[in-house]
Amino acid sequence: MTEGIIIRGRGGLYTALDAENREYVLRAKKKFRRMGLSPLVGDRIMFTPGNISDEHGWVEEIMPRTSQCLRPPVANVTLLCMVVSPQPAPDWLLVDKLMIFAERQNLKPVLIVNKADLDTEEETLRAARKMYKGAGLEVFSVSARTGEGKEALIERFAGQMCCFSGQSGVGKSTLLNQLFGLQVETGDISQKILRGKNTTRHAELFRFGDIAVIDTPGFSLLELDGVFDPVLLQDYYPEFREYKGKCRFSPCYHAAEPGCMVRMDEENGVIDHERMERYRQILKDCRETWRERYD
């Protein structure tokens, strides 16, 4: 058996790379279906290559996953690269949700503000830095068009399994091309509604030395994965940690309770107001899902 990593999968056919970057077409053994398991892009596997005359070989084993994402469905990501741009305008609620997801999966999130060439006043970059400073989020500025800022990214990606994630049209595929000299298909942006056109249709992994990057289809709606007790939500906000046990009520949801230290610091401008507004929105949704969990 050979060791490999799945780089793409479509219609029950998977492509894997071996250590020498040779590609193999595989199918999953029946036992995986019984186990309720299907191979994902990013999975480390053991496989049998199949003979010359065979159309495909077989995925024999899937190694335990260190993390698993559902949207997009990929495995073993270590660095969740959330990409935003000035155009299409950033959806910060989506970024917040991705961060919650990253915390729940123990992934490291980083924010990439792309299209620096269009962000002439650095408006998007400054907004990002301001809102996510408290959370300690790393923020990178880059232009996939000019290549400005790409060295810092390549340095950060060393040894990581990166997953590009974000709205359609922010330039995930263009960035991949710029960073690694690829020619992945990219699309333009609808000038009328300033939105991407969902050019990338499937997750695909690319490997360069010790860096792996997964390009994924853009999306605009994200449901938080799974149902969880709303009281846990605050644990996924790194900036709330130092307030644990300091509010008058315990637990405190930092929403409308009197004597809440987080809200006090929000009023003092220590905690970002916009991020808090979105937190309250997410908390509300989270409570609804929790209430309806037995329906």
Scanning 164-172, 226-234, 256-264, 272-280 for contacts with Mg ion by CB under 5 A, the matching segment is 164-172
Check binding of 217 to ligand GTP (CB under 6 A).
Answer: yes
CA distance 9 to 149: 32
Q: Which of residues 171-190 bind ligand GTP (CB under 6 A)?
A: 171-174, 186-189
Sheet strands (E) in the chain:
2-10, 13-17, 23-28, 44-48, 57-62, 68-70, 73-75, 79-84, 108-113, 138-141, 161-165, 204-208, 211-215
Binding site for Zn ion (CB under 5 A): 247, 252, 254, 260, 262
Tokens of 128: 């990002």
Cβ-based nearer residue to ligand GTP, 85 or 234? 85
Query: Could you tell me the CA-to-CA distances from 198 to 11, 43, 86, 129 in Å, in that order?
Result: 20, 25, 17, 27
CB of 173 to ligand GTP, least distance (A): 3
Q: Three-class SS of residue 166?
A: coil
CB of 238 to ligand GTP, least distance (A): 26
| 168 contact choice in ligand GTP, Zn ion, Mg ion, none (CB below 5 to 8 Å, kind-dependent) | ligand GTP
Of 202, 224, 232, 210, residue with least CA distance to 74: 202
Cβ-based nearer residue to ligand GTP, 2 or 177? 177
CA distance 18 to 65: 18
C-beta atoms surrounding 106 within 10 Å = 9
Instruction: State how beta strands 204-208 and 57-62 pair.
Output: unpaired
Among 97, 115, 156, 275, the residue binding ligand GTP under the rule CB under 6 A is 115
CB of 190 to Mg ion, least distance (A): 15
Cβ-based nearer residue to ligand GTP, 1 or 118? 118
Where along the sequence are the contacts to ligand GTP (CB under 6 A)? Answer: 114-115, 117-118, 143-145, 168-174, 186-189, 196-200, 217-218
Where along the sequence are the contacts to Mg ion (CB under 5 A)? Answer: 172-173, 199-200
